[in-house]
A and B are shown apart, each in its own frame.
Chain A
């Protein structure tokens, strides 16, 4: 299966700052998802983005499939953005489950 690596592992920001989270994967993917796990443990879908660019409010994501990476941009961060951000790709070519990176823990202070 593929390997998924995320960076940085930890990120501390002041409210209003921008940030970029990176996800590298070791093989081609037909499924790439970004999740936010909030402090209450809930896994929230952010983007399903095997390729291209998507935007949702202050968040956007870009996946460059040919170069095997994806980026998550957070602009004008808010304290509610705190939590762990995971990217996940298919465990195999059949895509029958997700393999997760270790996550980026984001702390936004006011």
Chain B
């Protein structure tokens, strides 16, 4: 009965590979997000989707491509992984942009 779930929880991969992170929410929310937390714990928005439409793309390299097949899912695909992509990626969801946001458990990505 997890509200916002992400898979996988840990991801270790080599530079140049392509990987995906999946996110699902069962809260009935219409807005979903991806945030990145760097090694200094700083959290920053990457993408925001409302009803499957991209609302925010915060100057993220185009190697990152989010996809929202329906309102309950927002996946993140990353091409040609770089060392600097190592971070914890959090998915979140809310009712509209002003609603309280709930976060998934995070995916720790390590690029070697």
Task: Give the B-binding residues of A (Cβ under 8 A).
Answer: 30-31, 33, 35, 37, 41-43, 45, 48, 84, 86, 88, 90-91, 94-100, 102-103
* CA–CA, A99 and B101, complex, Å: 12
Q: Which of B31, B45, B100 contacts A48 (CB 8 A)?
A: B100
Q: How many residues belonging to B are interface residues under a CB distance threshold of 8 Å?
A: 26
7 A-B pairs with CB atoms under 8 Å apart are A41-B88, A43-B103, A43-B106, A95-B96, A96-B97, A97-B48, A100-B44
Interface string of B66-87 (1 = CB under 8 A from A): 0000000000000000000000
Q: Which of A31, A33, A91, A103 contacts B41 (CB 8 A)?
A: A103
Structural contact, B106 and A97, CB atoms closer than 8 A: no
* CA–CA, A100 and B42, complex, Å: 8
* CA–CA, A84 and B37, complex, Å: 13
Structural contact, A102 and B42, CB atoms closer than 8 A: yes
User: What is the chain B residue whose CB lies nearest that of A42?
Assistant: B105
* CA–CA, A31 and B100, complex, Å: 8
- Nearest-neighbour CB distance to chain B for A95, whole angstroms, equals 4
Structural contact, A31 and B98, CB atoms closer than 8 A: yes
Interface string of B96-112 (1 = CB under 8 A from A): 11111111011010000
- Give the residues in chain A near B15, CB-CB below 8 Å: none
- Give the residues in chain B near A98, CB-CB below 8 Å: 33, 35, 45, 101
Residue from A31, A35, A43 whose CB has the most chain B CB atoms within 10 Å: A43
Interface string of B47-61 (1 = CB under 8 A from A): 010100001101000
- Give the residues in chain A near B45, CB-CB below 8 Å: 91, 97-99
- Give the residues in chain A near B100, CB-CB below 8 Å: 31, 33, 45, 48
- Give the residues in chain B near A41, CB-CB below 8 Å: 88, 105-106, 108
User: What is the chain B residue whose CB lies nearest that of A99?
Assistant: B45
Structural contact, B43 and A100, CB atoms closer than 8 A: yes
User: What is the chain B residue whose CB lies nearest that of A103?
Assistant: B41
